[in-house]
Amino acid sequence: MKKSEQQHIDRILFLLVTTLMFIGLLVVFSSTLYIASSRYNSVSYFLEKHFLRVLLGFVVMVLFAVFVDYRKIREYALYIFISVLILLILVLIFGKGNATRWLSIGPINFQVSEFAKIGMMIYLAYLIEKNRWRITDFKFGFFPLFFVVALVSGLVLLQRSFTMSFLIFVSGIILIFLAGVKVKHLAIMLSISFPVIVLFSIIEPYRLQRLLAYIDPGGALGRVRYQALQALIGLGTGGLFGVGPGHSRQREFYLPLAYDDYIFSIFGEEYGFIGSLFLIFIFFAFFYRGIRIAKYAIDDFGKFLSAGITFLIFLTALVHIGVVSGLLPPTGIPLPFISYGGSAMISNCIGVGILLNISKQIKH
């Protein structure tokens, strides 16, 4: 094999994700330092748990990148999708938590929707490749793709996870659009879907309150924006260069879930506007490398699977940063590879592992 044709993973993408994981360890430790010390009498209580999840995610990413040929995944796409549907139904019946998003299998607790999004993208990429020759046909080309996206996002929505459902829906629609379906077909189904999305965004009282508080932050529902306002205070306190690592004040019970849904605020407070721009740059660089892999993938399955995974992770990061910055209504969504949590970390690492494996098949 010629040197120019040697197979190797996208080292830049690997470096970007590894950097995000390292940043996550630093910020999770900083954002949990106070609460871990006061509640658990151990400053490293959360860090130890997060480190194990990062380590497991890293191992999973490497395993998928090196040993799991993405072309073999195509053969199991239907079975993966069926498994996703079964898990999404099971979590509605046996799910734990106020929003029934968690499923327990023995000692393992995991958020099903985090893994469902990857499973859906695998099956969607498989269907696009299989039906590429009739993609412009509504009945046999477009509708099966839209049905898959609507079904998965709908089941996730029933778990009272509106933001995750919306991200899955938008990412799936983008992938369908990139597949080359007729715009009029897409417009018809989106016009039908839009009222449903609006209905579910206001049908739950807490969602309506968040939306109203976002529209009128100084109104009677200003208390609903408490987290969002505290997040903005954190970003503002950081100034240009930040208050320094480990010196955040918002983590001290001012900002609930500072280590999860609002971790970008702690990062911005400690590393400032410059640090925040650097972190945003990493996510945009991730997006560029992911789309580049999609562009040069050797088959349609690889092209659309890498594009789907890239959009899923990138849009999640944008929504998290948008919420913390006050650009979007308050909601809970973790920052990929940085926020505390296991399900999101493992599922995103699976996605990146597949991305890296697809990049390895490209002749450089």
Helix (H, G, I), strand (E, B), or coil: what is residue 330?
coil
| Residue 162 token pair | 């509106």
Global pTM reads: 0.92
pLDDT digits (tens, 9 = 90+) for 151-192: 999 999 988 888 899 999 999 999 999 999 999 999 999 998
From 248, 207, 255, select the one nearest 227 (Cα to Cα): 255
CA distance 340 to 29: 10
Q: Which one, of 264, 232, 244, 243, lies nearest residue 339 by Cα?
A: 264
- Domain locations in the chain as residue ranges: 3-361
SS3 109: strand
pLDDT tens-digit readout, 277-313? 999 999 999 999 999 999 999 999 999 999 999 999 9
Closest by Cα among 70, 140, 18 to 303: 70
Asked if pLDDT for residue 98 goes beyond 70, the answer is no
